[in-house]
Amino acid sequence: MPVEQQERFGARLTRAIEARGRLCVGVDPHRELLESWGLSYDAEGLQRFADICVEALAPEIAVLKPQSAFFEVFGSRGVAVLEDFINRAREAGTLVLLDAKRGDIGSTMAGYAEAFLGESAVAPADALTVSPYLGFGSLEPALAVAEATGRGLFVLALTSNPEGASVQRATAASGRPVAEEIALAAARRNAGVSPLGDVGLVVGATIGSVGFDLGALNGPILAPGLGAQGATPSDLQTVFGDHYRSVLPTTSRGVLRHGPDVNSLRSAALAARDELLSAETR
């Protein structure tokens, strides 16, 4: 399908969750993981890791989230593996959310957007994580490219790292927390879009309380922290309440530790997916 005719990201994500369940698996090939799989910590080991993840996960899981840094560390050869992973994972039917957390201004932000989401990108992802902490308006070039190509953005709002609160929960000039201002700006971009907007938020599953209403967002919420970081499916419902239907929980180590055996890796991912479904229907 030509890029310009691609269905909007929010609609594709909604359909993927309906068909494959509410789970995003982070693909984080850090040194300890590759070595625990018996793989060399180099481009060859990275390629084998990527091959296994595509085979085990891409035909079954709604969203895969490769962390760009763990591929970039191997230079151009690592980036080539990432590009191959994105293309083959998407061909297998999963959506790919590239976790790169890019954030800049003007032509630089436009360059990032074209590199990861643009019509001429070598391996365009379905969505990209971005940082709004140069001001939400600095994301405009990425927002424009995403809208033009039917792709999505996930904007950092409330992250689970303890340092984040000093900025994200600070009071803005409006009197609202900075994170709430980001959420409101995302909601304005999603207004009127059906079935779901294309501009999501990143809100950690372990933060305890959002502290403001997400009701107007009309977009997806990426919730890192499921599994090894300590969050459970019931925690997700506590944190997000009535907005749980918009949440895309993500886990990495909790699933990837079951590799390198393809069947074990696939079974772990499906078990995590089914646990979420079970909690949702209680």
* Options 15, 30, 90, 101, the catalytic residue: 101
Q: How far apart are CA 235 and CA 55, in angstroms?
A: 30
In the chain, the number of structural domains is 1
Residue 178 identity (one-letter amino acid): V
CA dihedral 112, 117, 118, 120 (to 10 degrees): 100
Flag whether 98 is in a domain: yes
Residue 222 lies in a domain: yes
| Catalytic status, residue 65 | no
CA-CA distance, 231 to 260, in Å (whole number)? 24
Residue 169 counted as domain residue:
yes
What is d(CA 75, CA 278) in angstroms, rounded to the nearest whole number?
42
Q: Which domain holds residue 267?
A: 3-277
Q: pLDDT in tens for each of the 282 residues of the chain?
A: 344 458 999 999 999 999 999 999 999 999 999 999 999 999 999 999 999 999 999 999 999 999 999 999 999 999 999 999 999 999 999 999 999 999 999 999 999 999 999 999 999 999 999 999 999 999 999 999 999 999 999 999 999 888 999 999 999 999 999 999 999 999 999 999 999 999 999 999 888 888 999 989 999 999 998 866 777 887 888 888 888 888 999 999 999 999 999 999 999 999 999 999 887 766
Tell whether 282 is covered by a domain.
Answer: no
Amino acid identity at 265: L
Which amino acid makes up residue 135? Answer: G
pTM of the model: 0.95
- Measured CA to CA, the distance from residue 59 to residue 265 in angstroms comes to 13
For residue 224, what is the domain's CATH number? 3.20.20.70
Query: CB-based contacts of 58: which residues, under 8 Å, 6+ apart?
Result: 64, 88, 89, 92, 93, 94
